[in-house]
Amino acid sequence: MNWLTGSIRNKIMAMTSVSILLTLAILATVNYRTMVKTMDTRLIDSEMPAIVGNIVAEIDNKILRSAAGLSV
């Protein structure tokens, strides 16, 4: 990723979207730990890798789109 090019607005938007997505990932992790304490862990353990994978893929997508200068 070349952060030397692009407008300041694009950089701010990219960093904001990354920050929001990281916050959502942290909240999902906290929510997951709460669910593990209160629910059947077999169901959660089977679904959690897909949920985390989707969050990571979304973060990667946002970073790549913002680095390419596309709208996020």
How far apart are alpha carbons 52 and 1 in whole angstroms? 23
How far apart are alpha carbons 1 and 69 in whole angstroms? 11
Q: Quick one: pLDDT band at residue 4, thresholds 50, 70, 90?
A: low
Give the model confidence (pLDDT) of 10-58 as tens digits: 788 888 888 888 888 888 877 776 666 665 656 556 666 777 778 888 8
